[in-house]
Structure 1
Amino acid sequence: MGFFSLLFGTPDNKLLAETINKGAFLVDVRSPREFSSGSVKGAVNIPLDSLTQQLAKFKGKENIVVFCRSGNRSSTAKSILAQNGYPQVLDGGAWQDVNKILTNQ
């Protein structure tokens, strides 16, 4: 569990699992270097600092899960996406937490 998840609570694992099962667009918002060191199978890397320039990648996606190292950047990513017309985004928190849910199905 990530540091920010401990402070602010974890995402609803049941909802997260249901969203992933629906074929969610899994987005790791960490840096390319962090992403290359390990991530969730099937995830794409769209770093937080380039998120607004890559909004087109989210078009037509019904279920979106964003995650990062601790949950801080994913929370920011969720807010940015909501402000740009993507309210169907779920903050998965830390990538390890999302990975646990994905691999335990």
Structure 2
Amino acid sequence: MNETIIYPILAIIAFILYKKYTQYKVLKLVPSLLEEGGQIIDVRTKGEFTQGSKEGSINIPLDSLKAKMNELDNTKPIIVCCASGSRSALARRLLITNGFENVHNAGVWSSLLKF
């Protein structure tokens, strides 16, 4: 196989594996984060959220998050989720940039249903 094709394919595979591994690590922490009073913030749109969500989660769409950060308790863990993990990754970075320290990206919201 042509080497110019192999390296990009390996990079994509490595990225996907890294993303799955980091979400797996967060999901292992979820029970203890919830015991500490963790807040689940679902950053999907209101329409997506009404179609299905984790009971007890708070819907703050990503485009509204910066304006509503003051509604979050910075002393408790924050678990962000969305449809695929991309928007929640952006939400995590946004929260950390704005002084939140205990923020975790759980990725797909449905992965939280078992907790």
Question: Is this a same-fold pair by TM over 0.5?
Answer: yes
- Under a length normalisation based on structure 1, what TM-score does the superposition of the two structures give? 0.84
**What RMSD over aligned residues (CA atoms) do the two structures have, in Å?**
1.5
Higher share of residues assigned helix: 2
8 Å contact from structure 1 (residues 11, 91) kept in 2: no
Mean Cα deviation higher: 87-96 or 20-29 = 20-29
Q: Which runs of 5+ in 1 are unaligned?
A: 1-5
Q: Which has the higher contact order (CA 8 A, sep 6+)?
A: 1
Task: Give structure 1 regions of 4+ aligned residues with deviation exceeding 3 angstroms.
Answer: none
C-alpha displacement at 1:48, in angstroms? 0.3
Mapped partners of 2:74, 2:97: distance in 1: 16
Percent of matched pairs sharing the same residue: 34
Partner of 1:79: 93
CA deviations on 1:65-103 (whole Å, 9 max, x unpaired) are 000001010000000000000021111110011112x1x
Q: How many residues align?
A: 96
- Higher-Rg structure is 2
Q: Match for 2:113 among 96, 99, 102?
A: 99
